[in-house]
Chain A
Amino acid sequence: MHLCPEIHQLMRSPLDFAHILDEIPLGILVMDTDLRVVHLNRFFQALTGFSLDMARGVPCRNVLRSSACIINCPILATHRKNRSISCTSDIINTDRQKLPVRITTAQIMDTQGHFTGYMETIEDLRSSASNDLEKNVAYSFANIIGRSQKMETIFQTLPMLAQSDASILITGETGTGKDLVAEAIHQTSGRAGGPFIKINCGALPATLLESEIFGHMKGAFTGAVENKPGRFKLAHNGTIFLTEIGDLPLPLQVKLLTFLDDRIIYPLGATKGFNANVRIIAATHRDLEYMVSIGKFRKDLLFRLNVARVHLPPLRERGEDIRLLIDHFLNHYTKKQGKEINGFSEPALSVLLNYTYEGNIRELRNIMEYAVNVAQGTRIEADNLPAYILDHEPIQRVSKMPAAEDVQNTQSEQLPSSTAPQREETEQTWSAVERQMIIDALKTSRGKKNKAAQSLGMSRSTLWRKIKAYQIE
């Protein structure tokens, strides 16, 4: 049953209640006195993954799925205390992500003043919850740390790009912070109040990806038992972040191009499109110019995405930033783990400053987390570092990488053809190195995965995923 609730007597014509709620940039949930869902808005759906069709008539704690629901339901507290309650909590959405939120509850009265139900607003706290233990505003754009010339150039232009509402393409090797930059751009833009929806174009099979991104109509294919809005609709008035855009299949590239031209989205099986006010940020570690040259990526799509391009340099090209990041992560993990470590021995520092960091900042972060975990004294010693980096050849600091990308209003540039094979080689080498590291760590720990994970500076679940991905077992 499709409801169209109305608001009467506010204006001359009845107003569409659902439409008004959909324009509010907070998740809104309306419940009856039995805490069953009566209505929810689009922002709530974007946060939790539950549509109104899925949630209506269901007890709210099975839809919101917040820890507060289980530990100390704020709705029941509102009823007991007869006033609004606000609390911070977290939810797990249908993508299995845990998100920090603030929940505010209120009772709803009818026109006679009788208690009729409840309303909850859910505020997404992700932007304020990344919780840097220190804030070094002079050197950072949001949570991004850097002082090198290449990062300074990026910091100077990012705020302007954020405000411009232009499509942005972020390139760079894995672990250079593309996700962080994308989110920072959103949070600094005029769309910060709107949703930030991320899609990994390489994570889903092509058949599911179209439906996931653009939505589908009921009956569009076998199994399509209801309309699904798709991520673009959920991102309305916000930002959609397409990571691994190089993995987007060609047919979907066409559909994306249509959106960039007309701002209209056509869900799968739909005869009519809808206007979506969405800003696109795309990211890739691949060489898109090379992919265009071999016919794997559309040139016209690259031109449209490339309106503003941000290239994040690999860590080995960021000079003094390595020391800055080492100190930042030392401070972060020391405080997180309640240790008193205030520096490095000379040998440890020398190893850290001369390591190649093929996994870039992500690898540096893992190494520091491991070192802080393992260190016993007040300094990080060389033998507190993962064994594999002690055996590594020191970095050759003279870099042959191409010059930094122009970040403002460029057309696509033809990168030197030597760049594509060199980048591929780096990726292959890193995969082979990482696979061997894992095997060596497992040998050293005699098959004990917990120990191996610790020695590699990874969480257990990350090690298990990599073991599966590399088919080591």
Chain B
Amino acid sequence: MTLHKVAIPILGEEIVPRFDLTTEVIILTTAKVSDIQDKKIIVLPRSSPDELCHTLLVQEINTLICGAIEDEYYEFLKWKKIEVFDGVSGAWTLAFERWQTQTLNPGDILFTRMVEGYLI
């Protein structure tokens, strides 16, 4: 069984809207359709996209699910053979479930849409 490492920069229970302002990353080790084998959270001393990229490489991440990311870092991570689902927003758990079921796409907005307390 091939294990796969997925990294998701988070802010509380949600995906942090900006990759470059990440201070916390959750790393999930799993096979694609099975349970999470390992889960750890890395706290960064400061937000730095360069340092975060370095962390992702050191941790041997296979997939990144993140919010907005600048093109330079996006292209770099892709060049390093990391699969990037960028522009994703909402609860990180939901994003991870979607990834596991191969229904996640870059740009997915996973929030329940509400205006003035009403679902829309």
* A and B form one complex: yes
Chain A residue, CB-CB nearest to B113: A57
Asked whether, in the complex, the Cβ of A92 is within 8 Å of the Cβ of B115, the reply is no
| Alpha-carbon separation in the docked complex, A69 to B21 (Å) | 10
Interfacial residues of chain A within 390-444, with CB under 8 A of chain B in the complex: none
Contacts of B75 in A (CB 8 A): 461, 464-465
**A62 lies within 8 A of B11 (CB):** no
Chain B, 74-89, CB within 8 A of any chain A CB: 74-76, 79, 86-87, 89
Closest to B89 in A: A62
Give Cα A57 to B116, complex, Å.
9
Residues on A with C-beta less than 8 A from B117 are 32, 34
Whether A70 is near chain B, meaning CB under 8 Å from some CB there, is: yes
Bound CA span A449–B90, Å: 36
CB-based contact A468/B79 at 8 Å: yes
- B89 adjacent to A57 (CB under 8 Å): no
C-beta contact mask, A93-126 vs B, less than 8 Å → 1, else 0? 1111110000000000000000000000000000
Cβ–Cβ contact B67 & A62, under 8 A: yes
Q: How far, in angstroms, from A223 to B68 measured CA to CA in the complex?
A: 23
Other-chain residue from A57, A65, A464 in contact with B114 (beta carbon distance below 8 A)? A57
Task: Judge whether A92 and B113 touch: CB under 8 Å.
Answer: no
Pair A54/B11 contact, Cβ less than 8 Å: no
| A58 at interface by CB-CB < 8 Å | yes
CB < 8 Å: which of B21, B70, B111 contacts A59? B111
Given the known A-B contacts A62-B17, A461-B76, are A96 and B69 also in contact in the complex, defined by CB atoms under 8 Å?
A: yes
A62 to B91, CA, bound (A): 12
* Bound CA span A62–B17, Å: 5
Question: Which residues of B are in contact with A by a Cβ distance under 8 Å?
Answer: 11, 16-18, 20-21, 67-76, 79, 86-87, 89-90, 107, 109, 111-117, 120
Query: Which chain A residues have a beta carbon within 8 Å of chain B's beta carbons?
Result: 1, 32-34, 36-38, 54, 56-59, 61-62, 65, 67, 69-71, 91-98, 459-461, 464-465, 468
